[in-house]
Amino acid sequence: MKIQHPPRRFTPMSQTATEYPVLLIDSDAPLSELHACASERLNAALAYLHLMACSNVSDYAEHDINTVANTARIMVQDVADVFTVMERRGFDVAAVS
């Protein structure tokens, strides 16, 4: 495995709350660890959305629905960011072969 040097080794995660990236993905992490991270977040987001889909919408205020949607968006964005790193790693390996 080729070791990268900063800043390329650490890929910033998408953020909307800050101007400076504070959460980073280690591009050199084993693919199995990146996959486990993405899988955990995706499964949590799916379970969360399933729970909300089974709830009665009239029980919640508009603010609550916005909070639910934003929480799910953040979790799915995390998954997309990790998948981007995994894809880049996969394509880099394929290009070298």
**pLDDT tens per residue across all 97 residues of the chain:** 666 555 578 999 998 888 888 999 999 999 999 999 999 999 999 999 998 888 877 767 778 888 888 999 999 999 999 999 999 988 776 555 5
Strands of 1-97 (E only): list them: 10-12, 24-26
- Burial classification of residue 59, based on how many CB atoms lie within 10 Å of its CB (0-12 exposed, 13-18 middle, 19 or more buried): exposed
Q: In the 8-state DSSP scheme, what is residue 3? A: P
Cα–Cα dist 32/93, whole Å:
15
pLDDT given at position 21: 87
Residue 64 lies in a domain: yes
Tally Cβ neighbours within 10 Å of residue 67.
Answer: 12
Cα–Cα dist 63/86, whole Å:
35
Give me the domain span that covers residue 81: 31-96
pLDDT given at position 32: 94
Residue 17 lies in a domain: no
What are the residues facing 25 on neighbouring strands? Answer: 11
Residue 15 lies in a domain: no
Residue 90 lies in a domain: yes
Cα–Cα dist 3/45, whole Å:
32
Residue 86 lies in a domain: yes
pLDDT given at position 65: 82
Residue 6 lies in a domain: no
- Structural domains of the chain, count: 1
Residue 19 lies in a domain: no
Closest CA to 31 of 97, 77, 96, 92: 92
What's the whole-model pTM score? 0.77
